[in-house]
Structure 1
Amino acid sequence: MNREFDYLRGNLEIIMSKIERAALKSGRKADDIQIIAVTKTVEPEKISAIIDEGITELGENRVQELVKKYDIIDKKCNWHHIGHLQTNKVKYIVDKVKLIHSVDRLSLALEIQKRAEKINRIVDVLIQVNVSKEESKFGVYEEELFELLEKVNKLGNIRVRGLMTMAPYDENPENVRHVFAKLRDLSIDIQSKTLDNVSMEFLSMGMSNDFEVAIEEGSNMVRIGSALFGERV
């Protein structure tokens, strides 16, 4: 690793230690939890350095950044789209991403289906749920979740692999524990309905400030940016 980026290893060790403790509390191992390194505004050299440390799942919020970095980073890695996705941008990433975390409406699912069908690919997605019903956040409300799933599961080129949510920011993560617990309960309800093309393999919840509580409540996919790369400038 470039000596300039030595601090990344230290940050990762701290994160892994916290993941291990949180996983233990929920009866799991650190290996059960996947880190998605959030690379928003992070330069390619730094991304390359974290890949060298074994973090190969990368999450981008913006399509333009994802496409640009996809072409620059020449190391083995997987890209996740984790931000709000406009339907007119699907065509740029449908052949590049391992997982889309933010499907929150039927029109988006239909566009993914159309584009995936054209390239003969099955695209894995998560349904984004706005558990807290914050107006500033995207995501389907709990009351509309099952209706959306029943429509999406009929699309042959989409496979729902789980759920994603963003909790409200709070300096005390204990105050948002109920958000993560609710998403876990929803995933259990969905799993019991045995819908075609729908599994609840992944719960993408928890970010730099609250990932420990999210893991304790069942998350197995955490999206970590600033705790790994440092605060964005």
Structure 2
Amino acid sequence: MFLKRITLQHDKIPSMNNYPFSIPAIQNLKQLDLKKNVTFFVGENGSGKSTLLEAIADKCEFHTAGGGRNNLYEVHASESALGEFIRLSWLPKVTNGFFLRAESFYHFASHIDSVDTQGFKDYGGRSLHKQSHGESFLSLFLNRFKGRAIYLLDEPEAALSPQRQLAFLKILHDLVSNNECQFIIATHSLILLGYPYASILSFDDGKIREVDYEMTDHYQITKYYLQNREKLLKELLEE
């Protein structure tokens, strides 16, 4: 592990009433300790998990629309409002890494097309735009992710089928098994959350807290749905 702690500097925030500081989980954040090489952020839409992940990326000097330190391109509204108010505690500090943002991955792929001079060697030998969405994600994971680094992923499952989510878990496990990589992943994927060597942090209920896999809403709702599909759909659709 490299990043050990995230601290919100409340004394520097001009007002907690403005977004994103008004998000309950962010508002109540003081200090967050990271305990494992893989940490999942989970929670409802708007709970603050992607907002905090983006702020970490900003503090790492990664492009907040997606990329690493050396990826410089312009995307509207890619700045982080939270980044300047958090402090990251490292041991040791690393500068290598990558921020994957599924919603703006197209812009990152276009940037790579415009600057690549090495035959896309970090992306499987082909332009990311000439691969399917899922293929381009896996090409990134397989070829760009390596060495001592921290990787911040915002909903990587967005482009991955269930089978490819399992393939990603194998890639992730291989990368962290030598203790040279750290991952922080915001996700809704029940498959990814099942990775057994991770810490799961829930942003629901107005605070950030560690939860077990079986206690996540993702697990509880999916389990109930699978066990009671006909009954649940009848109640839902015939109201």
Fold shared per TM-score above 0.5: no
For the pair shown, the structure with the greater C-alpha radius of gyration is: 2
Specify the TM-score bucket, using the shorter chain as the normaliser.
0.3 to 0.5
TM-score normalized with structure 2 length: 0.34
